[in-house]
Structure 1
Amino acid sequence: MGNTYFSVQRLPLVLAASLDAWRPRPTTAAAAPRTETNAGGAMHPNAMDRRGKRKKRKERGDEAVANGLSASSAPFDRRVFPTLLAAAQTSGQSSISAALAARVLRRVLSRAPQMLSPLPDSLVALLPCLLSSSCSSVAALSCEVLGAAALQSMEAGEVLASDSGIAIGLVRALGSRNQRVTEAACENVKLTSCRYLFCQVESICEFVNSRTTRLSKRDAAANKISYLIIDTVVLLVNSCKFDKLRSIQHELIRNALSFLYTIWKNVQLLRSSADCNNSKYQLQSREYEITKAIFRLSTGLASPACLEPDVIRKSIFGQGESNFENFVLAHWEKSPNLYRRKQKPQNDDPVFAALHSAFNLGAAADAIIESFVKGLASCPAIASDELDINSFLQEVHDSLGNAVKYREDIRVLRTQDPSDQTSKGCAMEEHFFDDGTVFLDEDEFTKKCKHAFKNGYSIALRGMEFRCEKVAAIASALADLFGQPSVGANIYFSPARSQGLARHYDDHCVLVWQLLGCKKWMIWPNPKPFLPRLYEPFDPLDDTIDDNSGRVEILHEGDMLYVPRGYVHEAHTDVGESQMNAYGVYSLHLTLAIEVEPPFEWEGFTHIALHCWVEKQKLGGCSQFDKSMTKDETSLYALVLHVAIRLLSDKDPIFRKACLVAAKLPSSSSCATSHLKALRSSQRSFFYEIIKNIEKNCNFKEALESIKLAMQEKNDEPFQWMCWLRHLPQGGDADSRIDFCNILKSLEELVEAFSSNPEQALVGFTGFKSGFCKSAVYEDACQSFETLLQMYRTTRNQYMSGMLALHGAHVN
């Protein structure tokens, strides 16, 4: 064993296991196959069958190794231990025994968690050797096995941590020159430390919750340890990888979240403790580091208030299985529609009842304001195409968990009565606070909101899906129903005879849910043929809108109004004396914003379809296209066609419509299945209509000219919309891949390649476009579309869960 440490207590077990494993076994003819060759040394024709039999015996041997990873240590000692022992003793990176040992360790990791606790004693005895292995795979996998086993129970973690041989092996792994081994060892140390500390947090919760500012000398040591544990937990959580944090039991994570949340709320008091004169007794973690730890810990937790899409479908569109299909075909992105409740919604709708209790709607106005204004944290925006939550955390850095900021999080405003204005045009909004105001004093902020409300100002709070678990559950289910990454939620609380927002239109579709009182809405048709795109500048409203031509709807408690994007609208609580007497003097409604992001419009779906087809060309999977074209030329023609499709989308409204191929509809009954097929059929028809349009109208010269203009000006802004395409996987050589984050380089290559012989380039593009339009596969695009959607949704859910945690979710 060389210098490798073995505990004396385990030595007899190790020797016995190794002798038992290597004891000679009787062999039979069947167990000793021969390789038959002819005189020239060639394989005998019948030997192929025998090779097949040998292969089966090898597979049975692998199965035996797998069976050796059972809870019982005897099979492990007989079948697996000799392999690992040989690997531990063998030096050299290319060792066959090391490769086999790595495969065995991977199987150990792939077993169910309960199979890792307890680890066989013989494996524990070998861990010091394996951790010090010269084979990086064996050493790294041993670190992972050690960490996974230690996470299963506190007792297992203590046993493994108390073994000095394992400790020495882990130290050697930490000092390895191989980055993979070092990272695996670091992650093991951090994870096991996290778990241990999470189990200790309850012991200092009393100290944290007591909010004590005076400490006796006798308590000084306990105080020091408490602060040390807090700082260590924060440091470890913020340095662990997200996927590793998810391996810790959710019960422990919830305990730690509750603990850290309490610390965060009391952090200012803890910092100013008068009796902690020595700085070593002070909390060293900064406030944003604590909020970052809370955010990171929560990203892997599911909301306890989750809802199925079918529950939301029934709550909004009614019990009939065809109602949603009818809405999509008749009203979606076409015309407003009102869903009227026939009776009190609290009696028949559990979703509405949950919202009613969440905002304390049975209380007075001041209490309602407190229910959604107190305890707020700012929710900094995450970039539309950001799919790495780590990048988001690096971007916001020390602003995470800051106090709410005016306009970014909340607006307190009223719209002047047009009759009081001397100038013509739309009424103007008047804001109670200045732009950019940060509300550090929560009580003072709440007091001012109440005062503003009494003076006719409405309170508009954005991002309710990040602040209230029940709203988050509704928004997530609605996003699933429409097949979109996320749904935003804002709340509007308006006093009597008032108007909050001035007349406007939105770049997203809105479902307005009246929760309290009533409100009168006026809606005008979209004055333009195109739906407004998300994130594009808004056009100012002119004086051509006739005040008397709008559609008028009065929403009562429980009613739901759908307003498509682009439709001009305004709302106010001046609904007449009879309505006010019946429904109270103020109104509260929730808006659910279905934001159709660029990849999930029909234009985006078309770009995905083109990408899928191009990847097939690189693999030689399509015989209908010119095989003489190189991979580089294929990529460049694809880039031109992407640009041409974008230019075409500025002329054809269908490209801007939402793609609902990933919408989740019920399929439990034959009736529901037929409705699902009808909706799917309409989506397929959209796609092939777009394909015909591309073949007929996509213009090579127009696309090339727009690219040349951008190159002359060295301006990539017109092509920033392409950034999200980087999330689609690209095969082939690195030189043939398009860098959508540095698009000017690819555009420069394109201009250089096509400018020398534009006529030949036009012929090549025409053939390329025709090949795509004739052989694009709808199902391939659907699969990639849903994969991309899931990537977006994962990041949005992580962000939502992190923000909910900063608003007190997962605390109890």
Structure 2
Amino acid sequence: MHPNAMDRSGKRKKRKESGDEAVAEGPSPSSAPFDRRVFPILLAAAQTARQSGNSAALAARVLRHVLSRSLQMLSPLPDSLVALLPRLLSSSCLSVDALSCELLGAAALQSMEAGEFLASDSGIASGLVRALGSRNQRVTEAACNSIWISRRVQLVGSVLQPHLFCRRYCEHLYLFSQVESICEFINSGTTRLSKRDAEANKISYLIIDTAVLLVNSCKVEKLQSIQQMLVRNALSFLYKIWKKVQLLRSSANCNNRKYQLQSRESEITKAIFRLSTALAYPACLEADVIRKSIFGQAESNFENFVLAYWEKSPNLYRRKQNTQNDDPVFAALHSAFNLGAAPDAIIESFIKGLASCPPIASDELDINSFLGEVHDSLGNAIKYRQDIRILRTQDPSDQTSKSKGCAMEEHFFNDGTVFLDEDEFTKKCKHAFKNGYSIALRGMEFRCEKVAAIASALADLFGQPSVGANIYFSPARSQGLARHYDDHCVLVWQLLGCKKWMIWPNPNPFLPRLYEPFDRLDDTIDDNSGRVEILHEEDMLYVPRGYVHEAHTDVGESQMNAYGVYSLHLTLAIEVEPPFEWEGFTHIALHCWVEKQKLGGCSQFDKSMTKDETSLYALVLHVAIMMLSDKDPIFRKACLVAAKLPSSSSRAMSHLKALRSSQRSIFDEIIKNIEKNCNFKEALESIKLAVQEKNDEPFQWMCWLRHLPQGGDADSRIDFCNIMEVLEEFVEAFSSNPEQALVSFTGFKSRFCKSVVYEDACQSFETLLQMYRTTRNQYMSGMLALHGAHVN
């Protein structure tokens, strides 16, 4: 203050000499006055705070005045203060610790620039982590508020590294989950909380809110470093909090919002999903266990299945009755679905507590990208058709129900219906079941840990990214789904009762592919020409993709008397994604070979061809292979080079070798086919037409190739998701002299077919498979957590 300054009465003010008042009277918002007046005091106090209570008290007074009277100093935050804050945050004085945290929060709130200092300084981050571990509630609360404000001001994804704090928060969540008052509140049947209790638990709410915020700010991979035990404890606590919040949000009697959690339900569910991806999920089940459970003890059984039936013909595996205790897989399913109970109880066992499972893109390999797309839909109520269907097929003898000879499905709910009231939905499901409707629930591998373990092991066995699992519960004398075929192979596991299946041969040599439109069924299918199989409990039926089938619980009086009047079965769908068909394997082989070409690692490499020309000819060969796959059925079959077989015995090794040999033979046959039949002119015309019409839709199938590594210069790499520019470049380069282009392409194709290395393709294939599996398992883990996998 200027010496001649007057107060309101006109009397001259006396200048006060104490250091804290000098700070209060600093007139400038710039950092210079701070450096001259405040910094020396804080520095001296910080240096001696551990030995002198007076110095700590002085530092506390200075910080209070900075906070209360000089917030303009925090915009921007002086560099000198940033340098000093780590020491202040770790002082021995609780007041200094708390005030330093409050100062950081005020700085972030005052300006984005000040917040970025907080976000980027590792010393400050370490100090905040120590503050979070304080046993003093004020310090912990101030640290939480500081981080909360910083994240809210800077938004998710800024330079702050929230994973540095997540372990500490998981520890806090575990500790607070043990607090009796919190436990009583979570487990109570009411949403009412006294003002006194709510105020006492304010710090707990703040810890939870901040933990949710930071977890949702992390890249999923950053959460992997947190100990599994802490993650599981935190997940269990957050799940219970989420269920309680659902009641709080719907309660008209809930307390003032300041005494509640600030996190929205969608934020809590996203945190649960993210944390769960750090777990080793699902429960471990070896591929060999599921192989023995389905195909029998002998190692040769699976090999025989692959060679004789896989994608060729249906097959029934008949089991002895009352052997579920000898089969751990069937026993696990028996307990999971409460199979010994009445129908209403069975329905409740897989209807209660359901959350919607939003679809994930087939070629999505980044779970963070998926989380960005789903926004606030995680944990939402289930949606009709996406998650569940309640349907029946009308009696085909009723002429009014026929449509060109095909019986029609009748649905109990309208498409897109969302079931917000779980009790009312369960009641309607029971009513529908009693009136002849079947319940078909999708995505059981995302809702039940035991099913998830089976599906994951089966995917390992067949060397595929994932296996889907659906449950079907049908009443007596009924048919759920109408006659149809699937675009994936199915293993039907009869869990309860019995069911009659009719299966018709597939007249089409081309297997249907995932995501392709379904063809209309041939109305001339002879009802009497189908294969009939009656599945009893524990029996399993294999139905290849493309084979038309239907199933009934009307199996005849003798069967009904012996096995009951209703049926429950689980379908395990082995879905072959495009990269894991033989066409996909061939594209991978071509890509690996081209990468060697670019590096000059192949003895057949044509030195006269530039890297750009190599990429362009590779592109046209990719197109030619795709077009050939529409003429040769072998390209659509599943590639099983990554199938897992036991290798502990010499007999098992021989069967593994036989399977590997059959896969190599298929690849050799495909390469001969490519050299003989891949047509350059046809591929060129297809590319020309796409360029002329500015339509790259016919080439969108290439998108998954972006996941394969590309070396060389950036200019020589192909963006398979934005292919039009490369197609235009190709047409411009080779249309002027198509005959010479044909000669060059033929030479390029010949060199590929002669020098491609099968083992290179196998290695890249398995690497890509692991990338797919990682994302699928992360999604599975997240959805299982939202279905209460960590409640206990």
TM > 0.5:
yes
Deviation of residue 558 (structure 1)?
0.4
134 and 249 in structure 1: CA distance in 2 versus 1, 3 angstrom threshold: closer
Partner of 1:507, secondary structure, is: coil
Cα distance per residue 1:474-505 (max 9 Å; x no partner):
00000000000000000100011100000000
- Counterpart selection for 1:741 from 721, 726, 733: 721
Paired position in structure 2 for 1:543:
523
Q: Distance in 2 between matches of 1:276 and 1:170?
A: 33
Q: CA deviation at 1:163?
A: 15
With over 3 angstroms needed to count, the CA separation of the structure-2 counterparts of 1:688 and 1:209, relative to structure 1, is same
> What's the CA shift string for 1:488-546, capped at 9, x where partnerless?
00010001110000000000000000000000000001121100011100000022211
| Secondary structure of residue in 1 paired with 2:7 | helix
Q: Do the aligned partners of 2:141 and 2:206 also contact (CA within 8 Å) in 1?
A: no
Whole-Å Cα distance in 2 between the matches of residues 352 and 468 of structure 1? 14
Figure out how many residues of one structure are paired with residues of the other and give that number.
Answer: 761
Contact 2:4 2:12 in 1 (8 A): no
**Cα shift at 1:280:** 2.1
Q: Are 2:390 and 1:383 aligned?
A: no
Query: Is the CA contact 2:94–2:139 (under 8 Å) kept in the aligned structure 1?
Result: yes
CA distance 1:126–1:771, shift in 2 (3 Å): farther
- When residues 300 and 72 of structure 1 are mapped into structure 2, their CA distance, relative to the original with a 3 A threshold, is farther
Distance 1:103 1:682 in 2: 81
Cα separation, partners in 2 of 1:790 and 1:276, compared to 1, 3 Å: same
Q: Secondary structure at the match of 1:55?
A: coil
SS of structure 1 residue aligned to 2:17: helix
Distance 1:613 1:747 in 2: 21
Q: Distance in 2 between matches of 1:384 and 1:109?
A: 52
- SS in structure 1 opposite 2:790? coil
SS in 1 for 2:490: strand
Q: Match of 2:50?
A: 92
Q: 1:118 to 1:481 in 2, by over 3 A?
A: farther
Counterpart position of 2:149:
none
Kept after mapping to 2: 8 A contact 1:307/1:477: yes
- 1:644 pairs, out of 612, 624, 629, with 624
Contact conserved, 2:49 with 2:55, CA < 8 A, in 1? no
Greater displacement, 118-127 / 417-426: 118-127
1:224, distance to aligned residue in structure 2 (A): 2.4
Q: Tell me how far apart the structure 2 counterparts of residues 281 and 46 of structure 1 sit (CA, whole Å).
A: 49
Q: Are the structure 2 counterparts of residues 105 and 225 from structure 1 closer, same or farther at C-alpha, using a change threshold of 3 Å? A: closer
* CA 1:589–1:625: 2 relative to 1, 3 Å: same
**CA distance 1:284–1:555, shift in 2 (3 Å):** same
> Do 2:501 and 2:550's aligned partners in 1 also have CA atoms closer than 8 Å?
yes
Q: Residues 118, 461 of structure 1: CA spacing in aligned structure 2 closer, same or farther, 3 A cutoff? A: farther
Q: Distance in 1 between matches of 2:618 and 2:202?
A: 63
CA distance in 1, matches of 2:481, 2:235: 38
1:137 CA displacement? 33
Alignment equivalent of 1:114, drawn from 68, 72, 89: 72
1:211–1:266 CA contact under 8 A, matched in 2: no
Deviation at residue 214 of structure 1 after TM alignment: 3.2
Give 1:260 shift: 1.1
Q: 1:363 to 1:758 in 2, by over 3 A?
A: same
Residue 226 of structure 1 and its aligned partner are, at CA, apart by 2.9
**CA 1:213–1:519 in structure 2 vs 1: closer, same or farther (change >3 Å)?**
closer
Deviations 1:599-658 (A, max 9, x none): 000000000000000000000001213111000000000000000000000000000000
The residue aligned with 1:408 is 386
- Measured at CA, do residues 48 and 382 of structure 1 come closer, stay the same or move farther in structure 2, by a change above 3 Å? farther
Of 241, 246, 262, 1:268 maps to 246
Pairs within 5 Å for 1:379-458: 379-422=357-400, 424-458=404-438
**Whole-angstrom distance in 1 between the partners of 2:41 and 2:754:** 56
Q: Deviations over 1:123-163 (max 9, x none)?
A: 99999799999999999999999999999999999999999
The Cα shift of 1:730 comes to: 0.1
Q: Judging changes above 3 Å, is the alpha-carbon distance between structure 1 residues 697 and 205 closer, same or farther for their aligned structure 2 residues?
A: same
> Do the aligned residues in 2 keep the contact of 1:321 with 1:675 (CA within 8 Å)?
yes
Q: Aligned in 2, Cα 1:489/1:159: closer, same or farther, shift over 3 Å?
A: same
1:225 offset after TM fit, Å? 2.4
Moved more, 721-730 or 202-211: 202-211
CA contact (8 A) 1:625 1:768 kept: no
CA contact (8 A) 2:20 2:62 kept: no
Displacement of 1:765 in angstroms is 0.6
- Contact 1:495-1:585 at 8 Å conserved across structures: yes
Give the secondary structure class of the aligned counterpart of 1:246.
helix
Q: Distance in 2 between matches of 1:263 and 1:69?
A: 48
2:743 to 755, 763, 767: 763
1:615, 1:581 → 2: CA distance? 65
Deviation at 1:236, TM superposition (A): 1.2
Deviations 1:674-698 (A, max 9, x none): 0000000000000010000000000
Equivalents in 2 of 1:507, 1:654: separation in Å? 16
Per-residue deviation, 1:301: 1.0
Of stretches 86-95 and 215-224 in structure 1, the one that deviates more from structure 2 is 86-95
Alpha-carbon distance in structure 2 between the residues aligned to 1:585 and 1:352: 21
Give distance in 2, aligned partners of 1:56 and 1:752.
Answer: 86
Query: In structure 1, how many angstroms separate the alpha carbons of the residues matched to 2:731 and 2:651?
Result: 54
Partners of 1:65 and 1:185 lie apart in 2 by 24
1:300 Cα deviation from its structure 2 partner: 1.7
**Separation in 1 of the partners of 2:524 and 2:65?**
71
Distance apart, 1:712 and its partner CA: 1.2
Structure 1 CA distance for aligned equivalents of residues 27 and 292 of structure 2: 48
Query: In 2, Cα distance between the equivalents of 1:461 and 1:756?
Result: 57
RMSD: 14.6
Q: How far, CA to CA, are the matches of 1:585 and 1:49 in structure 2?
A: 95
1:686-725 CA distances to partner (integer Å, 9 max, x unpaired)? 0010000000000011001111111111111111110000
Whether the 8 Å CA contact 1:415–1:502 is kept in 2: the answer is yes
- The structural deviation recorded for 1:164 is 13
Partners of 1:802 and 1:108 in 2: how far apart? 45
Distance between the aligned counterparts of 1:501 and 1:391, measured in 2?
34
Q: 1:273 to 1:74 in 2, by over 3 A?
A: closer
Alignment of 1:12-31 (within 5 A): none
1:626 to 1:514, Cα distance in 2 relative to 1, 3 A: same
For residues 13-44 of structure 1, what are the alpha-carbon distances to aligned partners after superposition, in whole Å with 9 as ceiling and x for unaligned? xxxxxxxxxxxxxxxxxxxxxxxxxxxxxx99
Distance 1:395 1:667 in 2: 42
Seen in structure 2, the aligned counterparts of structure 1 residues 696 and 174 have a Cα distance that, compared at 3 Å, is: farther
The secondary structure found in structure 1 opposite 2:469 is strand
CA distance in 1, matches of 2:205, 2:4: 75
What is the Cα deviation at residue 400 of structure 1?
1.1
1: CA distance, partners of 2:677 / 2:397: 50
> In structure 1, what is the Cα distance between the partners aligned to 2:19 and 2:635?
57
Residue 299 of structure 2 contacts residue 655 of structure 2 at CA under 8 Å; is this kept in 1? yes
Change (3 A) 1:268 1:613: same
5+ long unaligned stretches in structure 1: 1-42, 187-195
Q: Tell me, yes or no, if the aligned pair for 1:198 and 1:255 is still in contact at 8 Å.
A: no
How far apart are 1:118 and its partner, in Å? 36
TM-score where L is the length of structure 1? 0.77
Percentage of matched positions with identical amino acids: 91
Query: In the alignment, is the contact (CA less than 8 A) between 1:403 and 1:438 conserved in 2?
Result: yes
Separation (CA, whole Å) in 2 of partners of 1:318 and 1:559 = 12
> In structure 2, what is the Cα distance between the partners aligned to 1:652 and 1:95?
85
Q: Which of 650, 665, 677 is residue 685 of structure 1 equivalent to?
A: 665
1:128 is paired with a residue whose SS is helix
1 CA distance for matches of 2:38 and 2:706? Answer: 44
Deviation of 1:380 (Å): 0.7
The answer to whether the 8 A contact 1:238-1:292 is kept is yes
Give me the whole-angstrom Cα distance separating, in 1, the residues matched to 2:380 and 2:683. Answer: 45
CA gap 1:122/1:747 in 2 versus in 1, 3 angstroms: closer
- The separation in 2 between residues aligned to 1:475 and 1:549, in whole angstroms, is 33
Preserved contact between residue 601 and residue 659 of structure 1 (Cα < 8 Å): yes
Contact 1:69/1:76 (<8 A) preserved = no
Q: 367-376 or 418-427, which moves further after superposition?
A: 418-427
SS at match of 2:493: strand
Once the two structures are TM-superposed, the CA of residue 267 in structure 1 deviates from its matched residue by 1.1
Quick one: structure 1 residues 168 and 720, their matched pair in 2 at CA, closer, same or farther if it must change by over 3 Å? closer
Query: How far apart are 1:426 and its partner, in Å?
Result: 1.1
Contact 1:215-1:275 at 8 Å conserved across structures: no
1:215 CA drift (Å)? 3.2
